[in-house]
Amino acid sequence: MQLITIKNLFKTYRLGDVEVSALRGLSLSIEQGEFVALYGASGSGKTTLLNIIACIDAPSSGKVFYEQKQINYSQSKKLGQFRLNKIGFVFQSYNLVPVLNTYENIEYPLLLTAKSEEERKQLVENIIDQVGLTDVKGHKPRQLSGGQRQRVAIGRALVNKPKLVIADEPTANLDVKTSRRILELLTGLNEVENTTFLIATHDPLVKEYVGRSIMIRDGKIRTKEHV
């Protein structure tokens, strides 16, 4: 089943009197349960594409479908609920709340839902176990290693059981050994939970773990390769 379908997507930004084309007629389909990596140089359009799929930004033209339903980018309230319930985010800089511990950082997005305290506790405890953070669930971010912080970020992204997780350079600040552990964790979650992962990256190591790599250059898909 197609989870994401993108048709003839354009995105243009205006910088003063200059128009910059970030995406130029890009089309793409992603199946439920796929593990996909987007490659491309800085300015190629990777992050713009992620932001549009995540409903953080809107396209200039073109269509985006989630589970065969077109996304209406003019409905900001519905888009907020869509992001909360359907999409998880993992950022290069982790974006953890410094004053919250591991448990609280992972629980944080659930506080925006109608879930009861008991439901939240069960979801958080389950994901803490899955990402291997049981021993540090009371630790603040400053007490954690880079790999542990990224695991917290992954746990937070997955705690509400989204069908799609979007990750922007998730291994950029990690050494090779830690990167492999993070990628093995993502691969395992992809296989067990059938979660769809879409990763923007420069890291060639990622190709060893994903099911499909896509090259973006000048706002267009140039080549596809299966790994």
pLDDT of residue 77: 84
User: Which structural domain, as residue segments, surrounds residue 219?
Assistant: 33-55+75-226
Secondary-structure percent of the chain, ordered helix, strand, coil, rounded to 5:
40, 30, 30
Cα–chain center distance at 11: 20
Q: Look at residue 9 and tell me whether its pLDDT is greater than 70.
A: yes
Q: What is the pTM of this model?
A: 0.90
Instruction: Give the tens place of pLDDT for each residue, 66-84.
Output: 999 999 999 888 998 899 8
The CA distance from 174 to 100, in Å, is: 22
Q: Is residue 185 part of a domain?
A: yes
pLDDT average, residue stretch 208-212: 94
pLDDT of residue 223: 59
**pLDDT above 70 as % of the chain:** 98
pLDDT of residue 144: 96
Q: Is residue 13 part of a domain?
A: no
Handedness of CA 39, 42, 45, 47 (dihedral sign): positive
Q: Is residue 140 part of a domain?
A: yes
Q: Is residue 6 part of a domain?
A: no
Q: Is residue 156 part of a domain?
A: yes
Provide the CATH number for the domain around residue 150: 3.40.50.300
Q: Per-residue b/e over 54-64, b at no fewer than 16 CB within 10 Å?
A: bbebebeebeb
Confidence of residue 51 (pLDDT cuts 50, 70, 90): very high
Q: Look at residue 140 and tell me whether its pLDDT is greater than 60.
A: yes
Give whole-number Cα distances, 150 to 140, 144, 155, 191, 223, in Å.
13, 10, 9, 19, 30
Q: Is residue 132 part of a domain?
A: yes
Q: Is residue 205 part of a domain?
A: yes
How many domains would you assign to the chain?
A: 1
pLDDT average, residue stretch 121-125: 96
Shortest CA distance to 7 belongs to which of 56, 48, 65?
65
Confidence of residue 226 (pLDDT cuts 50, 70, 90): very low
Q: Is residue 222 part of a domain?
A: yes
